[in-house]
Amino acid sequence: MPMPHENRDPQAALAALYAGNARFASGEITAPNRHMARLKEVSDTQAPFAAFLGCADSRVPVEIVFDQGFGDLFVTRIAGNVADAAIIGSLEFGTEVLGAQVLYVLGHTRCGAVTATMEGHDVPGQISTLYQHIRRAAKEARGDLNEAIRRNVQIQAEVLREASPVIARRVARGELVIAGGVYDLDTGLVAPVVLE
């Protein structure tokens, strides 16, 4: 059974994301595709219309923030929304194999990973490995946390484009658009970030 968004063009898919976020932030949540019939419909196959690189922060559940449901979004989450090799491979799968038309990098206000990178805290275990992916944004922001979060979205989108020939090819063919934004923990709104 074809998915309802199967033939959606990338710009229409992006518009659907922003419309869903507007519904969420205004409290007019429709919770589309969050019912048992949809669960059964997508149990054998998936065709998400968007793929996400988001932060692992528990306050930023992507499907809820964009008012989407089962099978609509292919979501990867990692602290600091950084594009490491495993994330890039996952997003290649979501875009090339599953056919997502939008690749969205989602940061959020008061991000702990960006804050920790800027402040240079000593942390246990492997946590500091995230810093290497965020340092450029932190340096360019010159102490401004909100600017560092915005720059991190831009930089991670750039990494996805440059490190993945699979993603770059889909963008060049007009099959995929890369977009980004910052989710406001206080308002629920996602502010688009202009990518370079």
Q: Which residues are annotated as a binding site for Zn(2+)?
A: 55, 57, 108, 111
Known binding positions: 55, 57, 108, 111
Amino acid at 66: F
CA distance 44 to 41: 7
Q: Who's near 142: CB < 8 A, 6+ residues apart? A: none
- Token pair 């989602």 is found at 106
